[in-house]
Each structure stands twice: as structure tokens, then as C-alpha cells.
Amino acid sequence: MIYSAKVLEYFADPRHAYRMEQPDGIGVVGDLSCGDFFVMYIRVCGECLTEVSYQIFGCPAAIATCEAAAEMATGKTLDEAQRITDDSVAEFLGGLPEMKLHCSNSAADALHCAIADYRAEVQREEDQRTTEVIEDATR
């Protein structure tokens, strides 16, 4: 199996591979019992991803795709990061062997799940504030 120089670089020197303390969103994809397992963490300021990290149990391609997705998303708005796809991750890395393309799917999916988790928490907080305002107004 032949990997691009960028895949090998991202596998050998991952800069975003750590557990983020108090992330704003967490995305989990995979199943430890059958292979690759991805956890993506995001920190958001305004509508911008200021920090993206991950933890992974997987092959070199899985590690490289998480690193690529984290690098691609950092500094982007939530909407821009949501548009990162499995194809754009694979393209960013200079391609992946056909049998490893599912890794880019999982990295992008984990990122999207972290964004969805963040947005759901923001919505819960807004709903709670609305409920409190209504309760205060009816007292």
C-alpha cells in the first residue's frame, strides 16, 4: 500500500492528537470492537473553530485523516467546517489508497458530529434562557 508524502507526514507528526480539556463539542465515530474509533474535540469562539483536536484508535490513514480534518477546520467558521467532506480530506492529503477511503469518511463524520454536539448545546442553553424569561414574566 502506497501513501502520499503528506499522509506519512501527518501520521508521523500529528500536532492535533490530544484530549482537549473542556471542549465545546465532541464527536464520536466508530466501534472499538471492529476497528477505527475517532473522537473529535472542538473549541468555538463566536462562530469560529479556534481549536480542533482528536483522539484515535486506528491505522496510519485514520490518524492522517484526523490530523488533516483538524488542520482544515481550525480557523474556519462552523458552516465552513461543516462543508469539509471525506473527498476534501482525501484530496488535501494527496489521495488515499482505495481501501482506506473510509478513514476520510470517519474523520469528516467525527468533525460534523462535534459541530452538531456544539450546536445542540447552544440550542439547549437558548431554550433554557427562554424558559427562564417566560417564567420570570409570568410571576
The sign of the torsion formed by the CA atoms of 6, 40, 75, 112 equals positive
Residue type, 129: R
7-27 pLDDT, tens digit per residue, is 999 999 999 999 999 999 999
**Can you list the pairs that 70-77 forms with residues at least 24 positions away whose Cβ atoms lie under 8 Å?**
70/16, 70/40, 70/111, 71/15, 71/16, 73/42, 73/49, 73/111, 74/16, 74/49, 74/50, 75/48, 75/49, 75/50, 76/48, 76/49, 77/47, 77/48, 77/49
Domains of the chain as residue ranges with CATH: 5-137 (3.90.1010.10)
33-73 pLDDT, tens digit per residue, is 667 899 999 999 999 999 999 999 988 899 999 999 999 99
Q: Are the beta carbons of 107 and 88 closer than 8 angstroms?
A: no
φ and ψ of 102, to 5 deg: -60, -25
The residue among 106 and 81 whose pLDDT is bigger is 81
Nearest to 88 by CA among 112, 106, 70, 72: 72
113-138 pLDDT, tens digit per residue, is 999 999 999 998 888 888 887 877 88
**What's the pTM?**
0.88
Q: Give the containing element (helix H, strand E) for 56.
A: strand 48-57
Q: What is the pLDDT of residue 41?
A: 98
